[in-house]
A = this chain, B = another copy of it.
Amino acid sequence: MISIAIVYHAGLGDTETQALAVAQGAASIEDTIVRLLSTDETDERWAELDEADAIIFGAPTSMGSASSPYKAFMEASATAWLEQRWKDKIAAGFTSSGPRDGDKPNTLAQLASFAARHGMIWVGLGLMPGGGSRWSRAHDVNRLGGFLGAIAQTEPEEGACQAVPASDRASAALLGRRVALTAHRWMRGKGTAHEDDVAGATTEETPLP
C-alpha cells in the first residue's frame, strides 16, 4: 500500500472540486490510500502529511499566486522543512481560479519551488496541451496547457457560478493517477539505507574537480 495526501484550500469551491477529481484519479490505482486534507484542518492532521508517501498540493490562484490561507499552510510547514521530514517524498500540484487569469502557472511554479525546498521529487501533469491542432476540441484534457501540474478554470457556461468543466476535472484525475503510479514505482525502488542515502554526504567528503 502507498498513501497519498492531498492538501488543498477549497477556494470558491472550484479548487475543492478539483481536489476531489485528483483524489478519484489517485484512488483508481490499486493499493493506494488517498487522504484529503483541507488547510482548515492541517493543524490536527500534520502527522498524516509526515506519513504520506506523496503529497499533492492544491491551491486556488488568487490575485496571481497561491491563496493566503494556502500560503499560511506553506509557512506552517517550515517546522517540517527545518527537520526535512518530507525529504524524498513524491510531490505534485494543481490550481484553479474562477475568472480567466493567465497567472495560474505562476502558482504551479510557486508550489514546485516550495516542494523543492522540502527536498521532494516533483511529478508534473505529463500531458500534451489540448486544443492545439485543427482536429482538437475545446474540451480536450489539458485545454489550458499546464505542465508543472493541473489547471482548472471555471466557466460561466457550465451552469453554476463556479463550475469546473469536465475537461479540467479529467486533467485533475489524470494528475492523481500519475502521482499514484509514480509513488508506487518510487516505493518499489526503495533500497537499503546505503543505496538511498541521498542526504548523507557532507561538504568535506565531497570530491571537487
Asked if residues A113 and B106 are in contact (CB atoms below 8 Å), the reply is yes
Q: Does A40 contact B (CB under 8 A)?
A: no
**Contact partner, A102, options B123, B146, B161, B207, Cβ 8 Å:** B146
Number of interface residues of A (CB under 8 A): 100
Residues of B near A197 (CB, < 8 A) are: 181
Q: Does A20 contact B (CB under 8 A)?
A: yes
**Contact partner, A190, options B68, B146, B189, Cβ 8 Å:** B189
Residues of B near A124 (CB, < 8 A) are: 115-117, 119-120, 122
Q: Does A74 contact B (CB under 8 A)?
A: yes
**In whole angstroms, how far apart are the Cα atoms of A120 and B123 in the complex?**
7
In the complex, per-residue mask of A97-114: 1 if CB is within 8 Å of any chain B CB, else 0? 011111111100110111
In the complex, per-residue mask of A162-193: 1 if CB is within 8 Å of any chain B CB, else 0? 00001101100110011001101111111100
Q: Does A35 contact B (CB under 8 A)?
A: no
Asked if residues A25 and B207 are in contact (CB atoms below 8 Å), the reply is yes
Q: Whole-angstrom distance from the CB of A29 to the nearest CB of chain B?
A: 9
**In whole angstroms, how far apart are the Cα atoms of A98 and B169 in the complex?**
24
Q: Whole-angstrom distance from the CB of A168 to the nearest CB of chain B?
A: 10
Asked if residues A198 and B126 are in contact (CB atoms below 8 Å), the reply is yes
**In whole angstroms, how far apart are the Cα atoms of A147 and B144 in the complex?**
17
Q: Does A140 contact B (CB under 8 A)?
A: yes
Q: Whole-angstrom distance from the CB of A81 to the nearest CB of chain B?
A: 7
Residues of B near A133 (CB, < 8 A) are: 99, 156
Asked if residues A208 and B173 are in contact (CB atoms below 8 Å), the reply is yes
